[in-house]
Homo-oligomer: A and B are copies of this chain.
Amino acid sequence: MKPTIYDVAEKAGVSIATVSKVVNNTGRISDKTRNRVTEIMRELEYSPSSVAAALTGKKTFTIGVLVPDIANPFFAEVARALENHARETGYAIILCSTDYQREREQDYLELLLKKQVDGIILATEARDWKVFKKLLDKKIPLLMFSIDHPSFSSHVVTTDDVRGGYLAGRYLLDKGHRNFAVIAEVNRASGRLRLEGFKQSLADEEIVLDKDSVVYSKSRVEEAKEAAKQILTLKNRPTAVFASTDLIAAVFLNEARKHNVSIPGDISVIGFDNTIHAEIADPGLTTIAQPTDELARYAIHQLLKSIEKPNLSGHRIMLAPELVERYSVRDLN
């Protein structure tokens, strides 16, 4: 059987309180005893049960992370980054992929509550206000990742999506483009904001997107294909397309090729996220990079902070996106 604190205490000839103190480095312990106890712990391969510790200490050192889809490279990278930063501070992560299903989001939140996670990072759309409110009521530290809404009182960490959309538009304008189309992720606030920013850049030049040139799509292969087709069959074909996600952009690239449309010869494309898709796409995809790792670092940092001090009011942290130039945009000048 796994050795417990009692085994260590007995063998070291001290009380369990003493062992606990050397494990947690609290209280006053003489070097002599500390060393002895440490030695015995090593001998016995003692590893304290964090379950028991959680029951008394009130902390599980676990945080729950909800993402819509871990198979989406952006979230995969987010997950990895979060996990990394969490591990550094001794926290483990329970990863929950909701598959965009509201019900599953529910289930997972309940699971996390039962498990008494110390905090939750929500990167899903949290569409169910009641559930959401319940979380706040339970006073469980909450952080919204990559989504935002004025109603949120919790911490929020996002990329500055509006600015990202703006950057994309500005870049295309600078390259001489004047005729645009957009494929935007309908089901995420971030998608809407990116579109918003894009429009604002066009507004600088008094260009207005006409209705047909804005197509909605989720960040999934099948839907993106449909959206791409719609754009490719537009009577008034754009010279540049802004896709609110690299995945959507990558799919567009393929569809274009099927339609014998050359990229960037006939149509320029710009994406968003800077995931592996942008790197692997052909041609390499010019895109707006999210500072994934930094986002994750801030997120963990903020969350841990509000675990310490639960009543901190929610800050909004918006990190700057950056344009990464590759080969999918043609210079018309």
Please give the residue numbers on chain A whose beta carbons come within 8 Å of chain B beta carbons, in ascending order. 2, 45, 47-52, 54-55, 60, 62, 69-71, 73, 76-77, 79-80, 83-84, 87, 92-97, 99, 104, 107-108, 110-116, 134, 138, 221, 247, 250-251, 253-254, 257, 276-277, 279-282
Known: A87-B107, A282-B282. A115 touches B92 (CB 8 A): yes
Give the complex CA separation of A55 and B254 in angstroms: 54
Least CB distance from A39 to B in Å reads 19
Known: A51-B51, A221-B280, A282-B282. A87 touches B111 (CB 8 A): yes
- Contact, CB under 8 Å: B76 / A138: no
Least CB distance from A60 to B in Å reads 6
List the B side residues contacting A73 at CB < 8 Å.
71, 73, 76
- Contact, CB under 8 Å: A254 / B282: yes
Q: Which residue from B95, B112, B134 sits with its C-beta under 8 Å from A83?
A: B95
List the B side residues contacting A277 at CB < 8 Å.
280
- 9 A–B contacts from the bound complex (CB under 8 Å): A49-B116, A50-B116, A73-B73, A84-B99, A94-B95, A250-B280, A254-B280, A254-B282, A280-B281
Least CB distance from A152 to B in Å reads 22
- Sorted from nearest, which 7 A-B pairs have the closest CB atoms? A95-B95, A71-B76, A50-B114, A76-B76, A51-B54, A254-B282, A80-B97
List the B side residues contacting A47 at CB < 8 Å.
110, 113-114
Give the complex CA separation of A249 and B94 in angstroms: 32
Residue of B nearest to A282 (CB): B254
Least CB distance from A271 to B in Å reads 12
Known: A71-B80, A108-B87, A114-B50. A94 touches B97 (CB 8 A): no
List the B side residues contacting A80 at CB < 8 Å.
69-71, 97, 99
Q: Which of A50, A99, A107, A112 has the most CB of B within 10 A?
A: A50
- Contact, CB under 8 Å: A95 / B110: no
Least CB distance from A161 to B in Å reads 22
- Contact, CB under 8 Å: A51 / B115: yes
- Contact, CB under 8 Å: B92 / A94: yes
Give the complex CA separation of A93 and B62 in angstroms: 11
- Contact, CB under 8 Å: B115 / A50: yes
Give the complex CA separation of A251 and B114 in angstroms: 44
Give the complex CA separation of A113 and B50 in angstroms: 9
List the B side residues contacting A221 at CB < 8 Å.
276, 279-280
Least CB distance from A137 to B in Å reads 9
Least CB distance from A71 to B in Å reads 5
Q: Which residue from B2, B94, B110 sits with its C-beta under 8 Å from A138?
A: B2
Least CB distance from A215 to B in Å reads 18
